[in-house]
């Protein structure tokens, strides 16, 4: 059952998932800023086999490449109304888009999913003070034009059911441990968490992992995709805290573009 599902981390919060021959994408952002690490060699044409794209929110490093991917693949897009408006403004046909508000259950044949609405992570003062001067230099150089006009909107958490394999994915860590428990976001097989947007992001992610109680956690969005807006996040503190707070949880760090399956993640 679990071997039928494969995963490929595309960098940032992006994943390519293949299940029963159906390819779906989560937050597929392939473009990179100057000095980004790691470098992403793939382009939209390399994802032309995608049939469905699921977006957690509307920020540029989650949706900027979606119009080109839709053009190459003809994929359907599932996202919030805010993200939908951004995509339509960039040429994605409205008939390709399904708008989600959160708290929906969808049966898409090969797999099922449920959505949960949460807020985007709030950047803390320490992170803002460290990043703002470099971002202002980019603005003065005219390099921010390409990422403007892409508001976040609500953040959607996706709970996927792949023939009994449950996978939870979110693109921003605004969800609190209390909210996860209240909404019933507990006990999945695999939890995919973004580690970006806060100076104490490793602690926040570890506490959320403890509350959710997955069999395995997969960190993502820890790469430096668009410096200096983004930053590289060292994962060793997160791994150590997961082992301490959730000792029964497997930890799996993905490598860019490497295909892996559920058995590898779950330690089977």
52-54/22-26 β-pairing: parallel
End-to-end Cα spacing for the chain: 12
Give residue 141's pLDDT: 45
Give residue 124's pLDDT: 65
Distances (CA, A) of 193 to 26, 159, 209, 245, 266: 13, 12, 8, 16, 16
138 or 191, which is more confident? 191
pLDDT reading at 2 higher than 50: no
Could you report the per-residue pLDDT of 138-173, keeping only the tens digit for each? 554 444 555 668 999 999 999 999 999 999 999 999
Give residue 33's pLDDT: 82
- Quote the CA–CA distance of 217 and 267 in Å, as a whole number: 11
Could you report the per-residue pLDDT of 222-261, keeping only the tens digit for each? 999 988 788 899 999 999 999 999 999 999 999 999 999 9
Overall average pLDDT of the 208-217 stretch: 98
Give residue 188's pLDDT: 98
Alpha helix ranges (H) inside 49-200: 60-63, 66-73, 81-89, 125-140, 177-182
- Quote the CA–CA distance of 144 and 45 in Å, as a whole number: 25
Asked if 232 and 206 touch (Cβ cutoff 8 Å), the reply is no
105-107/216-220 β-pairing: unpaired
- Quote the CA–CA distance of 147 and 213 in Å, as a whole number: 35
- Quote the CA–CA distance of 227 and 148 in Å, as a whole number: 15
Q: Which CATH architecture has domain 2-266?
A: 4-Layer Sandwich (3.60)
Question: Which residue ranges make up each domain of the chain?
Answer: 2-266
Closest CA to 225 of 62, 66, 83, 69: 62
For the chain, count helices (H), then strands (E): 8, 14
Specify the 3-state DSSP secondary structure of 107. Answer: strand
Overall average pLDDT of the 88-99 stretch: 98
Distances (CA, A) of 89 to 20, 64, 82: 33, 12, 11
Could you report the per-residue pLDDT of 129-139, keeping only the tens digit for each? 666 655 665 55
Give residue 198's pLDDT: 87
Could you report the per-residue pLDDT of 21-58, keeping only the tens digit for each? 999 999 999 999 888 999 999 999 999 999 999 999 99
Give residue 259's pLDDT: 98
Could you report the per-residue pLDDT of 102-116, keeping only the tens digit for each? 999 999 999 999 999
- Quick one: which H or E segment has residue 243? helix 236-245
The phi and psi torsions of 115 (rounded to 5 degrees) equal -110, 150
197 or 1, which is more confident? 197
Asked if 49 and 25 touch (Cβ cutoff 8 Å), the reply is no
Contacts of 260 (CB under 8 A, 6+ apart): 6, 7, 8, 252, 254
Tell me the pLDDT of the chain averaged across its residues. Answer: 92
Residue whose structure tokens are 């470099």:
134
- Quote the CA–CA distance of 10 and 23 in Å, as a whole number: 14
Confidence of residue 3 (pLDDT cuts 50, 70, 90): very low
Give residue 229's pLDDT: 80
pTM, two decimals, is 0.93
- Quote the CA–CA distance of 138 and 127 in Å, as a whole number: 17
The phi and psi torsions of 28 (rounded to 5 degrees) equal -80, 100
């Amino acid at each position: 059952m679990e071997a039928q599902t494969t995963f490929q981390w595309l960098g940032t919060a992006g994943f390519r998932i293949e299940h029963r021959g159906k390819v779906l994408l989560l937050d597929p952002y392939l473009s990179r800023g100057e000095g980004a690490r790691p470098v992403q060699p793939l382009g939209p044409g390399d994802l032309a086999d995608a049939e469905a794209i699921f977006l957690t929110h509307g920020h540029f490093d989650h949706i900027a490449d979606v119009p080109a991917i839709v053009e190459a693949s003809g994929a359907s897009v599932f996202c919030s109304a805010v993200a939908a408006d951004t995509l339509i403004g960039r040429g994605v046909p409205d008939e390709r888009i399904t708008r989600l508000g959160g708290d929906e259950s969808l049966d898409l044949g090969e797999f099922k999913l449920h959505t949960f609405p949460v807020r985007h992570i709030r950047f803390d003062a320490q992170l803002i003070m460290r990043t703002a001067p470099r971002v202002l230099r980019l603005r003065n150089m005219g390099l921010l034009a390409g990422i403007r006009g892409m508001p976040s909107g609500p953040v959607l958490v996706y709970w996927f059911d792949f023939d009994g394999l449950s996978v939870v994915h979110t693109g921003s860590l605004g969800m609190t441990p209390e909210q996860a428990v209240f909404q019933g976001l507990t006990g999945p097989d695999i939890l995919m968490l973004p580690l970006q947007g806060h100076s104490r992001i490793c602690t926040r992610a570890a506490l959320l992992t403890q509350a959710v109680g997955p069999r395995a956690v997969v960190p993502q969005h820890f790469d430096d995709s668009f410096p200096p807006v983004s930053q590289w996040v060292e994962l060793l503190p997160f791994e150590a805290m997961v082992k301490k707070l959730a000792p029964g949880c497997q930890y799996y760090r993905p490598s860019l573009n490497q295909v892996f399956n559920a058995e590898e993640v779950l330690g089977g």
